[in-house]
């Protein structure tokens, strides 16, 4: 089941087939586009809670 995650900062949509892949893509996106965003546990939990099935 494909999953998607919309970036809370810019609305960019990341897509992947597994939550693990999706979070890796999202972390890359945050590092490149939003270096001011801290990827601490809470942020990752927030991102996880925003994952939706496509
Ligand atoms: Zn973004």
Residues 9, 44, 29, 1, Cα dihedral to 10°: -100
**For residues 26-30, average pLDDT:** 96
Distance 6 CA to ligand 1 centre (A): 8
> How many other C-beta atoms are found inside a 10 Å radius of the C-beta of residue 23?
19
pLDDT at position 1 over 90: no
pLDDT of residue 8: 92
pLDDT of residue 21: 97
Distance 8 CA to ligand 1 centre (A): 7
Given pLDDT bands bounded at 50, 70 and 90, which one contains residue 15?
very high
pLDDT of residue 19: 96
pTM, two decimal places: 0.89
Distance 26 CA to ligand 1 centre (A): 8
Distance 18 CA to ligand 1 centre (A): 19
Q: Name the β-bridge partners of 6.
A: 13
């Amino acid at each position: 089941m494909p999953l998607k995650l919309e970036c809370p900062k810019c609305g960019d949509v990341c897509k992947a087939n597994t939550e693990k892949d999706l979070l890796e893509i999202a972390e890359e996106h945050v590092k490149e586009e939003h270096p001011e965003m801290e990827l601490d546990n809470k942020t990752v939990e927030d991102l996880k809670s925003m994952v939706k099935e496509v």
